[in-house]
Amino acid sequence: MPRKTANDDPLAPLTLAVGQEDLLLDRAVQQVVAAARAADADTDVRDLTSDQLQPGTLAELTSPSLFAERKVVVVRNAQDLSADSVKDVKAYLGAPVEEITLVLLHAGGAKGKGLLDAARKAGAREVACPKMTKPADRLAFVKSEFRALGRTATPEASQTLVDAIGSDLRELASAVTQLAADVEGNIDEAVVGRYYTGRAEASSFTVADRAVEGRTAEALEALRWSLSTGVAPVLITSALAQGVRAIGKLSSARGGRPADLARELGMPPWKIDRVRQQMRGWTPDGVATALRAVALADAGVKGGGDDPEYALEKAVVAIATAARARQGR
């Protein structure tokens, strides 16, 4: 979970979310917005990228209103603001406007450090959102997600989930939410195993493995078996996303020993070897096409379409086809 400073009021005049973990940054914003809308359902939320905050924009957004409405102004990638926009923000920090909450998202590096220092000096409520590169950090994250949902999971269950999902916090959070929704009582290693490792034919990861290897018929067979045995569609899209992303990460990484690449990419060494075998035939365009297919399937599975199974089949075929692009098979 994001670490916060002593000033833990999400309606503080300024919240500073620092780090590069997208899920935690988004949650920091969501917490402020939720608190503001709990105080005033008509809260106006303005979510801006750094290039959208031009000189004068902040003054316009924070000018007094006749209706004294509550407002949340979010500025993403604040380290990339222009010098003139930084001056505007610093000036605002000296005289914040009542009923307005400013949320600055900053990567935390040397770039834009002057703004970072100024925000801290102004007494910002700070939320730390660091990349979780260590397995122990991801394990702690999974345990905190179960606690936040009021559920208990054994240490072995949490570890099995981390081993199966990998380093993507969004996918870990999604898996925890799915298990909490589907499973009654204590969540143990056996429960996680039924979802993620079970019978090889019914595993969502088997579907993903066959798809990224370009084995269309086998991938579709594994998909149908998985669905018929009760594997949640959202877990299959999660596995497909992980499979394609792993191909993309490894294909763009520098060469090296599996142990070195494992540390760099946040994968176990055995997975590096497997992905190296799977990535033959893939092109950068193929990875992009496959990621779009996964995104469409994910939307279909989560309510954006009438037939989740068909959405998954289309994604599997698209991924398997992309896997064969370089080979021309």
Please give the average per-residue pLDDT across 28-42, as a whole number: 92
Domain shared by 318 and 209, yes or no: yes
With a CB cutoff of 8 Å and minimum separation 6, the contacts of 185 are none
Domain shared by 123 and 156, yes or no: no
Domain-embedded: residue 329: no
Stretch among 25-29, 222-226, 303-307, 313-317 having the lowest mean pLDDT: 303-307
Maximum average pLDDT range among 81-90, 179-188, 266-275: 81-90
Domain shared by 222 and 261, yes or no: yes
Q: At what angle do helices 233-252 and 204-212 cross, to 10 degrees?
A: 40
Domain-embedded: residue 8: no
Domain shared by 104 and 175, yes or no: no
Q: Which residue would you say has higher pLDDT here, 311 or 162?
A: 311
Please give the average per-residue pLDDT across 233-246, as a whole number: 88
Maximum average pLDDT range among 74-78, 158-162, 232-236, 281-285: 74-78
Average pLDDT across the chain, whole number: 85
Residues forming beta bridges with residue 45, ordered by sequence position: 72
The pLDDT of residue 220: 92
This model's pTM is above 0.95: no
- pLDDT per residue over 61-78, tens digit each? 988 765 667 899 999 999
Stretch among 130-134, 184-188, 231-235, 259-263 having the lowest mean pLDDT: 259-263
Structure tokens at 289: 């096409």
The pLDDT of residue 257: 63
The pLDDT of residue 5: 46
- pLDDT per residue over 141-178, tens digit each? 999 999 999 999 999 889 888 877 777 788 888 889 88
Residue 329 has pLDDT above 80, yes or no: no
Separation of alpha carbons 41 and 3, rounded Å = 27
Domain shared by 241 and 316, yes or no: yes
The boundaries of the domain holding residue 144 are 137-196
Residue 268 has pLDDT above 70, yes or no: no
Residue 45 has pLDDT above 70, yes or no: yes
The pLDDT of residue 116: 95
The pLDDT of residue 189: 82
Q: Domain ends where: 178, 196, 214? A: 196
CATH number at residue 306: 1.20.272.10
Q: At 327, is the pLDDT very low, low, confident or very high (cuts 50, 70, 90)?
A: low
Domain-embedded: residue 221: yes
